[in-house]
Structure 1
Amino acid sequence: MCAAGVLLLASAVTTGGQVVVELSDGGPSGAGGTTLTWKPCEGEGRQGFECATAKVPLDYARPRWRTIDLVVIRHRATAPGRRVGSLFFNPGGPGGAGTVGLPLQYHKFPKELRERFDIVSWDPRGVGQSTAVQCFASAEEAVTWLENVPAFPVSAKERRTFTAAYAELGRRCQKRVPELLRHVSTDESARDLDRLRQALGERQLRYWGVSYGTLLGATYANLFPSKDGRLVLDGNVDPRAWVEDGSKSEPELNTFLRLGSDLGSADALREFLRLCGRAPASSCAFSAGNPAATRAKLTELLGRLPKRPVGSWTYAKTVSEIRGGLYTVHPGWAETAQMLQTLWEGRIPEDPPAPPVSLTYPGFEQSLGVLCAESPNPRDPARYVGLAKLSTARAGDLGHWWAWANEPCATWPARAVRTYTGPWNRHTATPVLVVNATYDPATSYRAGKAMARELADTRLLTVNGYGHTSLDNPSGCVGRHTARYFLSGVLPPVGATCEQDVPPFAPFATETPAVPDGRGVTGAK
C-alpha cells in the first residue's frame, strides 16, 4: 500500500493508439457499441503490447453529458490457434495503472493462460493515462510536495505539518478536478469494466483482480451477476468493511483498521522475525541467532531511531519501509533484513529507487481520490492520534502507518456520487475463486475468509505463505488451480491449500506456517 492506498504502482508509461466510439444506450451500464482500435504501445518494456483508448460517461446517470478516456492495454494470446478469449486483469490500488501493472506482471501469469487468452488491463477512471486525478501542475511539483511530508507523524509538530499538508492537497484537487473527484468510485469503475467487456465482444467477464482489484471484482459480480464468467480474487479486501456496511454515521475506525491491515502486517512481521532468527546471517542479514533475540534487536533499533535517526532514515521512514518490504518475499524480505542490519550498524542504507518522473506520473492523490470519496473515515484529524494508539497497542510499530494513512480523508473535499454498498451475496453465473495467503501483510487472511463468506458462491484457496498476492509471491500450485478454473471452470477442492514455491530465507525455513490467530502482537483481540 502506498502512503494512502492499497497498492501504488509508481511509474508511468506513454501509450499510443486511439479508439472509435459509437455510443448508444443499452444494457445495465448504458453501454452501446464501442469499437477499439489497437496500436502498438509506446514506451520501454511494452514491446508486444497493444494499446487503445475508450470513451465512457463521466456520470452513468447522465451518459450523454460528458465523457472521459480510459486507456486500455492487452497482450495477445501467444497460441492464437488455441485462443479462448479475453482475460481482464486489475493490478490493485486504488490507483494502480494497468498500463504499468500488466507489462510488469504479465510474465507471472501461468503459461497456459498466456497461451490461451488475450490478457487485458486498463487505467481505471481517475488513474494514470486515463482521464486522471492530477492535483499538481507537473510531476516534479508532486514529487517535491511528497518529499516534504513524513510517512506518518510522530511528534506534535509533525502532526500539524501532516494534517495541514493533506488539507492543502484536498484544496488543490478540488480546484483542479472538482467534477472528476465525485466520479471515480469503484461502482463506476465496475460499469466501465462492463463496457470494456462488451467492446471486446465477450459474453461474460473473465477477470483476475489483486488487492483493491478484489473489491472491484466483488462489486462487478454483484452489479452484473449474470455476466460473471469466472473471477479470481487474489489478496482480498473485505467489501463490507471497506464501505462500513453503507453506514451514514461517523465511523469509529478508519478504513485500514476496519480491514485489519494493521493486524495482517503484525502477523507477517512476527513471522519475518521468527524465520530470520532461525536463519544464519548469510541468509537473513538481521538475524541475531534466534527469534527472540531478533525481535529484541528490532525493538532496540526502533526505540533509538526517534531520537537518533540515521541520516534521512527516521523512525517513520524505517517503519514505512519495513511494512512495504513485507509485501514481496523474494527479494523483499532479504532486502528488508539488509536494510535493518545497515541501520543497526549506524550506516545509511541506499534509498529505494525513485519512480520515473513524468508529466503523466500516476500520483498518490489518485489513490486518495477513490478511497476517500467512497470509504468512510473519521472527519476530525485529531481522531487519528487515538487511532494510532489503538493500532499500535494491537499491532505494534506498524500500526502507526495504517492509522495515519487514512487521515488525508478527514479533509478530503469530495464524496462519490455513486457508491456500491451491497448486497454482496447476489448469485453469480459461475462461482468465484478467492485466493489469500495466511500471512498477507496488507489484505489479511481474515479479509480473505470474509470475502469468501460474503459472496454468494465462492471457493477459498488458502496459500500457506507470506507476502501480498500470489502473482508477486509465486506458487505453482495456485497457478495450476487458476489456469484450470479459467479454462474449464473446475474449482479447487473444498479446503484446498497451496504452498509457495520458495519459502523465505530458503533453505533454512521450510516448515508450513500456522494460520494466524488474529490477535496481533499483544494478544489483544
Structure 2
Amino acid sequence: MRRSRRLLAAIAAAGALVLTGCTIPGFLQSEPERSEPTGESVDAELEPFYSQVLEWQSCDDFQCTTVTAPLDWDDPSAGETELALIRQTARGGDRIGSLLVNPGGPGGSGYDFIAESIDFAVGPELQQRYHVVGFDPRGVGRSTPVQCFDAARMDEYLFGIPEAERGTDAWIAEVGAAAQEFGAACAEGTGELLGNVDTVSAARDLDLLRAVLGDDELHFLGYSYGTFLGATYAGLYPDRVGRLVLDGAIDPSASNDEVTQAQAIGFEKALRAYLADCLTGSDCPFSGTVDDAADEVARLLASVEQSPIRGSDGRYLGADSLVTAIIFPLYSAESWSYLSEMFESVMFGEADTALAFADLYYGRESGGTYRDNSTEAFRAVNCLDYTYDADVSSMRESAAELAEAAPIIGPYFGYGDIGCAAWPYQSESERAAISAEGAAPILVIGTTGDPATPYQWAVALAEQLDSGVLVSYEGEGHTAYRKSNACIDATVESFLLDGTVPEADPQC
C-alpha cells in the first residue's frame, strides 16, 4: 500500500484531522531570488546540470522553479527530465541552509505538501532557520510525470470488479491482463522516463538539487518512503550527508513479499487497536469482544466480495476498495471515529462513504477526475525498486502465508506481484541493507503502532546505517514528527537546528 505522509494531510483537508496548516497569507518571501550552485567539481558530462543557476519565481506565498536533470544518470547525454521545486525562504536570520522535504509514497508530491501543508510538514522554528524546499521527484506531479490512463480508464482499473473468483487461474489472467494494459499505457504516455524513475535515480537527483541550491551538505526530512530515498542518498553520498531525519522508516533490505506481509500484519494490528477503542464507546457499530468485532469486519469484506454494493455514481464497492477505505483512516488514530461512520454505512448497504475514503487515498476528486498522478508514479517506482515473481504457484503460496499471518486484511493483499510481473521495465537491482559508512549521524524514527511502516523497520534501518540513531515513539499512527508529541518534536528540531544527537533512544 502507498506509504505517504501526505495521506495524513489529505485526511486533514477532508476534516478528519485538524493538524495541517498553511503559510501566513500575504507573507512576503525574502531575498535572494536566485540560487547559485556550489561550483563543485563533477564529471564533464554532468557539469551542465550541476552548474545551473536557479531563478525563483513568485508562486502565491512561495517561490518556485524548475531544475533540469539527466533522464538517465548512467548516460547523461541521452536526454533530460524536469524537476519542480517550491520553497518558503527562511523567515529569520542565521540561516542553516535548505531543508528538502519528501512526504512519502512513492509518488507523493513534495511540492503540494509544502504548498498546502507546510506547518504540518515542518515546525515553526525550522521555518525560521531553513529555506524549506518541497520537490516532486522524477515522474511525479509537476515534474516530468508518469502518464498512463485517463480518468475513466483509471476508475475502471482501480474500482472495476473482476468477474472470476479471487485466486483462480481465470482471476489471475483477468487481473494480469488489466495490469499489462495499464503498463502499456504508462509506457506509451511516459516514454523512456518510465524506465528511469527508480529510487537510485531519484537520490542522484537529490544530490543535484543540493548542489544547485548552493549547499555543500544535504539537510533532509523524509517521511515514510522518503526514508528510503534519504537512506539511498546516504549510501551513495555518505560524505555529503548533513542533517538527515528519516521518520516512519522503511527497511531497505526487505523484499516485496516481506514488505507486503509486514504491512498486512501492521494494518491488522491497527484495525484491532481501533476496534478495542471503538468498543469502549457508545457509538461503536460493533459489539462483543475485539475478536467478535474482527470477525464481523471479515464477514463484511466477504459480503462485498460476493455482492459488491453500487454507489450513487455507478461505481461498485468491492472488497479491494473496502480494504482501501479501511486502511485510509488507520494511518492516524485521530481518524478512528470516521472509520466507525464508514463501517456503519456499509453495514446498512451504503457505498458512498467508503468510496469517498478510497477516493481520498487515490487522489480522486468528486467530479471523477484525479488531482495528481500519485497512483501511476507509485506503481512505476515500485516496479523498478523491487523484484517480482510471475510464477503462479509462488504467488499462491505467498497469498496463503498472508492470509494466515493477517486473516482479515491479508487475503486481499495477495497476488501483488501481478501488477509488476509484466511491467515494461524490470528491476535490475536486489534489495540490500544500506550502511552509508562515514556519514554524519542520521536520525531514524519509528512508531511502535505504525501500520504502514512497522516499527521493526526503523530498528533495522538504524542498525544497518553506520551512523544511524534510533528514536522511538510509543504510539499509534503513521510517522511521529509534528503529531503533537513534544518529545519527538524537540528531538527532531534540536538535531536539525543544532546538530544535537540523542545519547540514547529517548523512547518518546
User: What TM-score, normalized to structure 2?
Assistant: 0.83
> CA offsets, 1:69-99, max 9 Å, x none?
00111112222x2432211101111111112
- For residues 415 and 297 of structure 1, do their structure 2 counterparts lie closer, same or farther at Cα, with a shift above 3 Å needed? closer
Q: CA deviation at 1:113?
A: 0.9
> Aligned runs of 1:72-471 on 2, under 5 Å?
72-79=85-92, 81-108=93-120, 109-136=122-149, 138-148=150-160, 154=166, 156=168, 158-241=171-254, 244=255, 254=257, 256-257=259-260, 260-277=262-279, 279-282=280-283, 285-288=284-287, 290-311=289-310, 312-331=316-335, 333-350=336-353, 351-352=355-356, 354=359, 355-356=364-365, 361-380=372-391, 383-416=394-427, 419=429, 424-471=434-481
Q: CA deviation at 1:286?
A: 2.9
> CA offsets, 1:293-325, max 9 Å, x none?
433433443344333444333333222211222
- For residues 295 and 374 of structure 1, do their structure 2 counterparts lie closer, same or farther at Cα, with a shift above 3 Å needed? closer
- Residue 504 (structure 2) pairs with residue 494 (structure 1): yes
Residue 28 of structure 2 corresponds to: none
What letter matches 1:27 in structure 2? Answer: V
- For residues 290 and 433 of structure 1, do their structure 2 counterparts lie closer, same or farther at Cα, with a shift above 3 Å needed? same
- For residues 40 and 145 of structure 1, do their structure 2 counterparts lie closer, same or farther at Cα, with a shift above 3 Å needed? farther
1:306 aligned counterpart, secondary structure:
helix
Larger helix percent: 2
Q: Separation in 2 of the partners of 1:145 and 1:268?
A: 27
Q: CA deviation at 1:205?
A: 0.7
2:179 aligned counterpart, secondary structure:
helix
Residue 21 of structure 2 corresponds to: none
Would you say the 8 A contact 1:76–1:119 is kept in 2?
A: yes
> CA offsets, 1:475-502, max 9 Å, x none?
232111111010111123413212xxxx
The number of residue pairs the alignment matches comes to 467
Q: Any unmatched runs of 5+ in structure 1?
A: 12-17, 42-46, 245-252, 499-525
Q: Separation in 1 of the partners of 2:224 and 2:457?
A: 11
Q: Separation in 1 of the partners of 2:123 and 2:186?
A: 40
- For residues 481 and 397 of structure 1, do their structure 2 counterparts lie closer, same or farther at Cα, with a shift above 3 Å needed? same
- For residues 153 and 122 of structure 1, do their structure 2 counterparts lie closer, same or farther at Cα, with a shift above 3 Å needed? farther
1:175 aligned counterpart, secondary structure:
helix
* More divergent stretch after superposition (407-416 vs 27-36): 27-36
Q: Separation in 2 of the partners of 1:292 and 1:359?
A: 37
Q: CA deviation at 1:215?
A: 0.6
Q: Any unmatched runs of 5+ in structure 2?
A: 11-32, 311-315
Would you say the 8 A contact 1:135–1:177 is kept in 2?
A: yes
Q: CA deviation at 1:207?
A: 0.5
- For residues 62 and 420 of structure 1, do their structure 2 counterparts lie closer, same or farther at Cα, with a shift above 3 Å needed? farther
Q: Separation in 1 of the partners of 2:409 and 2:224?
A: 19
Q: CA deviation at 1:140?
A: 4.8
Would you say the 8 A contact 2:6–2:113 is kept in 1?
A: no
> CA offsets, 1:412-444, max 9 Å, x none?
120356x58556113244211011111111111
Percent identical pairs in the alignment equals 31
> CA offsets, 1:234-255, max 9 Å, x none?
11111011xx4xxxxxxxx636
2:219 aligned counterpart, secondary structure:
strand
> CA offsets, 1:255-290, max 9 Å, x none?
6336x222222222222222222x2124xx334265
Would you say the 8 A contact 1:374–1:415 is kept in 2?
A: no
- Residue 34 (structure 2) pairs with residue 33 (structure 1): no
Would you say the 8 A contact 1:222–1:423 is kept in 2?
A: no
* More divergent stretch after superposition (361-370 vs 192-201): 361-370
User: What TM-score, normalized to structure 1?
Assistant: 0.80
Residue 514 of structure 1 corresponds to: none
Residue 493 of structure 2 corresponds to: 483
Would you say the 8 A contact 1:380–1:410 is kept in 2?
A: no
- For residues 420 and 201 of structure 1, do their structure 2 counterparts lie closer, same or farther at Cα, with a shift above 3 Å needed? farther
- For residues 23 and 485 of structure 1, do their structure 2 counterparts lie closer, same or farther at Cα, with a shift above 3 Å needed? closer
Q: CA deviation at 1:169?
A: 1.2
Q: Separation in 2 of the partners of 1:293 and 1:429?
A: 50
Q: Separation in 2 of the partners of 1:61 and 1:160?
A: 36
Would you say the 8 A contact 1:88–1:207 is kept in 2?
A: yes
Would you say the 8 A contact 2:35–2:214 is kept in 1?
A: no
